[in-house]
Chain A
Amino acid sequence: MSNRIDMKGIGKSFFATRALDNVDFSCVSGEVHALVGLNGAGKSTLMKVLGGVYQKDEGVIEHNGKPIEITAPADAAKAGISMIHQELSLINELTVAGNIFLGRELKRGGTPFLDKREMARQVKMQLDRFGLSLDPNKPVRELNSGEKQIVEIIRALMSDSWLIVMDEPTSALSEEDKDRLFEFIARMKAEGIAIIYISHHMPEIFSIAEQVTVMRDGVIVLSERTSDTTEDAVIQSMTGEELEHFVKPHKEIEGDPLLSVQDLCKAGTYDQVSLEVRPGEIVVMTGLRGCGAPELAKAIFGLDGDYQGTVHYKGRPLKPGRGPSVSVRDGMGLVTENRDKNGILPPLSVRDNIALPFLEKTVRAGLIDGGYIDKVVDKAIRDTSTKTSSPDQEIRFLSGGNKQKICFSRWLDEDLELLILLEPTRGIDVHAKADIYRIIEDLAERGVGILILSYEIDEVIMLADRVLTLYQGQSVSEYVYPNFEKDQMLADMAGAGQPH
């Protein structure tokens, strides 16, 4: 059966702000419709209107040509629309089948007892239908994030959904899981499922989507078949301007190593890794997820002391597991890969979020000098071009890109010597990315040594003075600017390269 949803002339305001203005958006079964735009362009608002979380102010929603009212999430579910959330909503203690049948469990003929066998059988049937291998009786806590996502999608499909909305589905997935998800999406298309795919990743969009729609400032600025448009055209309509290509400035790197890591080993995580970072140098570690680089970075920062080998910093050996407070005092900084988990302090203001690591320096006669903090914070906000209405704004109201800039701006203090960055541009839009690249270069120019972990090969090549490729915890090779060979690097990451 062919299904379609047409949203026509949708408008929505929050107080005085126009979040959606006369938006037309359609999707048809058997197709992937990519929805793109910068943070704040209105994609999430549009999807929340479709999902019944927000009420539209104007416009109609038609299901197969008939107008329907979606005033609550239950209405959306009735129309066959399911949202797959970034924050997964599964219960860890239940099995795969238990989660899928949550709230509508099958009972053994007239008794109050659960028919676990039948539930598992039905789930298995669905998994087989899409060529997925997953044990329905496995507890969800044992699954990785890719598998959890699959469980969520299967749950949606088994409650008769024909339209699946996915918001940044690949942001937390390994390469292998990504491939499996794309395969799954292809099978769903073949079964007549419609998918709305929200993403920042152009290559993904152009490989799986039939239609791409770009939003900017609450209106649709482009809606084309993917076969009729290009990545550049899409990016340009997202930003509304010709994107300035980031060009790496030329610089001389000299001096003794600031950080020198020798033969670092941790069983099952990383093995015999050595690297050096000199003042002003940008060293990028790259590989696939699971290559051991984040753990390595945490060991260097003093978060984990369970390793063999030595780490020298400013010529002195570092004590394993000495704790971040010592590292920060020594002029190290860290931007973690998971902003929401250990990057920001959600209820606090932008000012408090920025000022925390250097509070001691603002103390005059035992008390904090608020004026000094204001000066430093204002400068940090300006230098990173963070968009916030005021330093008093609570950080949780900021977009992902601006939150990330604040995670950077804490470290712009003059005493910083080594900055460790884990996936510095994860989940942020192209504009914020360009700002972040510029901040990193500025810091390097000031003489700060920078150690980055990135999984995006283009970013690696654009930023690095030196690249270290890792495969399953072992270093494969090292490349020095400008001798970067992209194909060779990719081969290294996949385990096909030649170890030096």
Chain B
Amino acid sequence: MTSTAMASSAQNTKKLDGLTLRYLVLIGLIVIASVGFSFANENFYSLTNIGILLRSIAVLFLLSMGMTFVMLTGGIDLSVGSNVAFSGGVGVIALTTTGSAFIGFAAAIFAGMAIGAVNGFFIGRLKLSAFMVTLATFALARGLALVIYDADSINVSNQTFLWLGGVSWGNMPVVIPFVALVFIALSVVLYKTTFGRDVYAAGSNFATAFVLGRRPEKTLVWVYVLSGALAGLSAIITVGRVSSGQPWAGLYLEFDAITAVILGGTSLFGGRGMLLGTILGVLLYGIIINGLVLTGTNPYLQSLIKGMILLGVVLLDTYTQRGKTA
């Protein structure tokens, strides 16, 4: 039973609480990290390095946005990293057999969506645990990738296929404006369509959404399909970046994506979070990784630093969460 007195006081502090506070903290950390790294290495602010930094996190941007949708429904998608390898393989094989870049693109995206549909069917329709199902497809997609690639990489020379992931305009990789377009499109989907509202509803309270006549089970299916489609897109970018299809592409990317989404303030329990937070989370994560390489920080320390950042965020979460209920 919350008293009105408390409700109003919670409301007063809410403006600085929750997500807004989180975004301010993230921006603060990004500024601090950038300034710190630029003192340690004057190259940090060079246009070349910024280009390298952005290109290296382009794929993480896409996967994390898909992961945001998934986590807003209270789910998780461990299969995205493996899916990048699998859908890339399908795309590259379609490309090399038909010679058409566009058939290659379509094949990669459809293959990604297929894995997503499998996840969605088991999680949304059969109500199985997202963790278990995507853990299974995590292994399954990697296995499929190894089989279709015959465990070896395939070189790609089709310039159209490589364009998105490989080409830069000056220091600006073309993939960055593309990611920005995807961000805008997904923001419209999330905030301005009934599907987007249903994503929040399914994650806030599945039972209520169902009783109110929404179709949360259907929403879940589409959320995983979307995450799979973004894995397919990421696969195209990855192939472009390395001029070849790789059976071990995307290794551990799901963990980076989950980390970035959590850094960005999306709740593990669903219903709370925004795409902007994820973008900030990916940026911060990317800057830290890039800066640690630039400053030649000992890799044994790097794991320690990453762990400490995550722990810090968890503490921040708990603290702001307590602040809200007390």
Known: A343-B208, A359-B197. A39 touches B1 (CB 8 A): yes
Neighbour of B211 across the interface among A15, A39, A42, A334, CB < 8 A = A334
Interchain CB contact under 8 A, B201 and A387: no
Chain B CB within 8 A of A324 CB: yes
Stretch at the interface among B10-18, B156-164, B307-315: B10-18
Q: Binding site of A, secondary structure by majority: helix, strand, loop or mixed? A: mixed
Q: Which residue of A lies closest to B192 (CB)?
A: A367
Chain A CB within 8 A of B302 CB: no
Neighbour of A399 across the interface among B2, B197, B205, CB < 8 A = B2
Interchain CB contact under 8 A, A352 and B213: no
Interchain CB contact under 8 A, A329 and B213: yes
A-B contact count (CB 8 A): 136
Neighbour of B208 across the interface among A17, A41, A303, A345, CB < 8 A = A345
Interchain CB contact under 8 A, A324 and B212: yes
Q: Which residue of B lies closest to A390 (CB)?
A: B11
Chain B CB within 8 A of A309 CB: no
Q: Which chain B positions have C-beta within 8 A of A389?
A: 7-8, 11
Which of B6, B12, B207, B271 has the most CB atoms of chain A within a 10 A radius of its CB?
Answer: B6
CB distance from B207 to the nearest CB of A (A): 4
Known: A341-B207, A356-B212. A347 touches B3 (CB 8 A): no
Q: Which chain B positions have C-beta within 8 A of A39?
A: 1, 3-4
Known: A16-B12, A356-B201, A363-B194. A42 touches B5 (CB 8 A): yes
Which of A218, A324, A390 has the most CB atoms of chain B within a 10 A radius of its CB?
Answer: A324
CB distance from B11 to the nearest CB of A (A): 5
Chain B CB within 8 A of A288 CB: no
Q: Which chain A positions have C-beta within 8 A of B6?
A: 14, 17, 19, 40, 45, 397
Chain B 211-230: CB-based contact to A (< 8 A → 1; otherwise 0) = 11111000000000000000
Interchain CB contact under 8 A, A342 and B205: yes
Size category, B interface: 35 or more
Chain A 401-428: CB-based contact to B (< 8 A → 1; otherwise 0) = 0000000001000000000000000000
CB distance from A63 to the nearest CB of B (A): 25
Q: Which residue of A lies closest to B205 (CB)?
A: A345
CB distance from A50 to the nearest CB of B (A): 15
Query: A473–B1 Cα gap in the complex (Å)?
Result: 33
Chain B 59-73: CB-based contact to A (< 8 A → 1; otherwise 0) = 000000000000000
Interchain CB contact under 8 A, A397 and B2: yes
Chain A 132-148: CB-based contact to B (< 8 A → 1; otherwise 0) = 00000000000000000
Chain A CB within 8 A of B97 CB: no
Query: A410–B201 Cα gap in the complex (Å)?
Result: 14
Interchain CB contact under 8 A, B5 and A17: yes
Q: Which chain A positions have C-beta within 8 A of B270?
A: 347
Q: Which chain B positions have C-beta within 8 A of A89?
A: none
CB under 8 Å from chain A, chain B span 1-60: 1-14
Q: Binding site of B, secondary structure by majority: helix, strand, loop or mixed? A: helix
Interchain CB contact under 8 A, B200 and A348: yes
CB under 8 Å from chain B, chain A span 209-249: 218
Query: A100–B188 Cα gap in the complex (Å)?
Result: 53
Known: A324-B213, A328-B213, A342-B205. A352 touches B200 (CB 8 A): yes
Chain A CB within 8 A of B209 CB: yes
Chain B CB within 8 A of A18 CB: yes
Neighbour of A397 across the interface among B7, B194, B208, B209, CB < 8 A = B7
Chain A CB within 8 A of B267 CB: yes
Chain B CB within 8 A of A290 CB: no
CB distance from B216 to the nearest CB of A (A): 10
Q: Given known contacts A15-B9, A43-B1, A324-B210, what 12 new A-B pairs fall within 8 Å (CB)?
A: A14-B9, A40-B4, A44-B1, A323-B215, A345-B271, A356-B209, A359-B194, A367-B188, A367-B193, A393-B11, A393-B14, A397-B6
Q: List 24 A-B contacts (CB under 8 A).
A: A14-B6, A17-B5, A17-B8, A18-B5, A19-B5, A39-B3, A40-B2, A42-B5, A44-B1, A324-B212, A324-B213, A329-B213, A336-B211, A343-B208, A347-B267, A348-B201, A348-B271, A363-B194, A393-B14, A397-B2, A397-B6, A398-B7, A399-B1, A410-B212
Task: Using CB atoms and an 8 Å cutoff, list the residues of chain B in contact with chain A.
Answer: 1-14, 188, 192-194, 197-198, 200-201, 203-205, 207-215, 267, 270-272, 326
